[in-house]
Amino acid sequence: MFAIENPSTGKSEDKFERIDDSQRDDILDRSTAAYDAWRGTRIEERAAVLSRAADLYEERIDELADHIGREMGKLTRWAKAEVQIVADIYRYYAEHAHELLADEYLPAQNADKTVVRKEPIGPLLGIMPWNFPYYQVARFAAPNLLLGNTIVLKHASICPLSSQACQDILEEAGLPKDVYINIYASGSQMDAFVADKRIKGVSLTGSEAAGAAVAKTAGENYKKSVLELGGNDPFLVIDDENLEWVLDQFNLIRMYNTGQACNAPKRLIVLEDFYDRTVEYLEKKVGDMKVGPYDDENADIGPLSSIGARDEIVERLDKAAANGDAKIRVGGKKIDREGAYMEPALLTDVDPSADVGCNEIFGPVAIVYKAKDVEEAIEIANNSEYGLSSSVWGTDLDAAFEVANQLNDGMTFVNEASVTAAGLPFGGVNRSGYGRELARWGVGEFVNEHLYRVSGQDNPGNSPAM
């Protein structure tokens, strides 16, 4: 049984039944049967469904925003922004359908025609997290539905309303039944889905432990996986000419979604020349932030996704302070009110080898590191087992770009951070996972790049490989 545990109020709301293991065969048989039909539809038909879905997301923005506010506490203005990004993603794939799926003609090489065609591979399993309930689904679903794959989607248990809305909108947009199947299931039920021969690939966005489990089972069963996991993203400031503006950007981006974004900047790295000014400015900035429920228009941040998530972060901060692993400059305590609220926090003097230094903190916690020069700033930034994204901030763009080129991440930005758009690839390296989503890279993961060669009898082509 799943239930909405509204983090703004701490109260339990609607309940939903979890699937039984005995239903797995029916779900996968339906997805396989739907694939046999969906793969044969014209590109124009698939693109039209995605285009209409984009329109429906925009038309229902208020309702959809309220769903995720109730489910995981996202402030309404953030929720509406997420819904708009989702509409942009579906529309992007609709508008670029022919370009993204175009055949690639190769030099004939002793044949009359040599072409590589992008073809679907079959039913896919998506395992999605709660922090961006619509966006995470869209960046996986849109390119694969365009390609002709079918999808079985297991969302986070705290997102029953938004997960079902993803299916309902696609079907209202014209997607045939069973091409996209939303299931209410637990994480422990997923291993059997991943292992099943009817599933041809799996995409997971979530924890490192869940990613390792999925990758292991997928590998043992000869199928591809895409993993988008955690991050401990560095935010390097290499000069102080616009320091207050840069710190304002850091604080906004770090605390966006109440700090619950894998690609948010977790580690602010500044040069020692302006370290003290940085800490002083952020102490006030973070300390002045207003915490409120998801529908409070004046709130700077909302509740955490759950009381358990809040308690885990507060406990980690308390332990770090007690062990001397970090100094809590401001905040970090549970707020005494109903719901999953905590004070946003600023940490300094953090031991990079301690828990709060080397592991992701998925909440409203900013960490400041001091570097004696740019070279040490780069060293601190790269001292991480993650590798999702990073950013460099400076007025000399050539110097900033030179620093950016020395960072070991999947995405690096100069004078911006955590940027996502339908036309940009998204993904990381190392403990942040592998594979890419969005743009043409999103089409390129779960695809059969099928080679066709046509040779006339008077042009036998090359000899077979020995």
| Residue position matching structure tokens 């292992």 | 195
Is the CB of residue 146 less than 8 Å from the CB of residue 53?
no
Residues 6+ apart with CB under 8 A from 10: 307, 338, 339, 340
Is the CB of residue 387 less than 8 Å from the CB of residue 431?
yes
Give the dihedral sign, CA 374/246/260/433: negative
Is the CB of residue 346 less than 8 Å from the CB of residue 366?
yes
Measured CA distances, 385 to 208, 247, 445 (Å)? 12, 25, 24
Coil vs helix vs strand at 262:
coil
Report the distance separating Cα 394 and Cα 431, nearest Å.
28
389 DSSP β-pair partners: 411
Give the dihedral sign, CA 437/261/434/29: negative
Measured CA distances, 109 to 15, 113, 451, 455, 460 (Å)? 61, 9, 13, 10, 11
Tokens describing residue 335: 């707020």
List the catalytic residue out of 5, 71, 82, 228: 228
The H or E element that residue 70 is part of is helix 61-72
* Residue 179 DSSP class: S
User: Annotated catalytic, 228?
Assistant: yes
Strands (E), 120-171: 123-127, 150-154
- Closest by CA to 288, choosing from 343, 242, 239, 337, is 343
- Closest by CA to 28, choosing from 160, 194, 169, is 194
Tokens describing residue 205: 């966005």
Is the CB of residue 88 less than 8 Å from the CB of residue 422?
yes
Report the distance separating Cα 157 and Cα 372, nearest Å.
45
- Closest by CA to 65, choosing from 79, 55, 53, is 79
* Residue 255 DSSP class: H
Tokens describing residue 415: 């004078």
Active site amino acids = 228
